[in-house]
Amino acid sequence: MLPATIPIFPLPNVVLFPSVFLPLHIFEPRYRQMVTDALAGDRVIGMTLLKPGWKGDYEGRPAVYPIGCAGLITHAERQSDGRFNIVLRGVTKFRISDERHTAPYRIAVVEALPEVLAEGDRASLVERRERVVSKLAAAGERQGLHLPLGLPDEELLNTLAQYLPMAPVERQALLECDGVVARSAALIDLLEMQVLAAPGSWSAGDPH
């Protein structure tokens, strides 16, 4: 169950999805304190995407998109200088309704937005997974993409949404979809509208 208030870690180019792992290097003092406090508590941190224009107020509280994803710290390694290398695993989406100014880092009042797959949606999800994998197969041959086909449907589609090359705002739009079935349809639309970019290797495997 998601607590009513959670620390949030806003970044300009990172969006976390449920059930997907995210490695992070934590170096700012306020966010080092955030990780220290989280490790002493429930180990939950909320990831949010900064809105455009954040650079002018980064040291303060620049605007973030209200929908984010909470992650559980599954691994933490503290460096000798106080920095952290951590791994989050996405737990659930949330909506921010307010912020509390009780810590050096940002604390948000949140409402959990769990994504529950209805039994009747399973066939649609399987069909859309096959379409996504088919569309990526040719690009995989050209670019050396490695698709983690052993993952369950929801995890595979969320992993692709998190790690395929796309603009942060497109990734945010995928997060805000009403569940993984709608997200898979939006992902198909994105793949149809754009050619997968640059040459080189991309892996959607477990990043830790």
Decide if 34 contacts 105 (C-beta within 8 A).
yes
For range 100-109, the mean pLDDT: 94
Q: pLDDT category, 196, cuts 50, 70, 90?
A: very low
Please state, in angstroms and rounded to a whole number, the distance separating the CA atoms of residues 162 and 142: 21
How far is the C-alpha of 148 from the C-alpha of 155, rounded, in Å? 9
Q: What is the pLDDT of residues 24-82, one digit of tens each?
A: 999 999 999 999 999 999 999 999 999 988 777 777 789 999 999 999 999 999 999 99
Angle at 164 (CA atoms; ends 160, 167), nearest 5 degrees: 125
Q: What is the pLDDT of residue 138?
A: 64
Maximum separation of any 2 CA atoms in the chain, in Å: 52
Task: Burial-class residue 31 by CB neighbours within 10 Å (0-12, 13-18, 19+).
Answer: buried
Q: What is the pLDDT of residue 77?
A: 97
* pTM: predicted TM-score of the whole model, two decimal places: 0.87
Provide the pLDDT for residue 124: 92
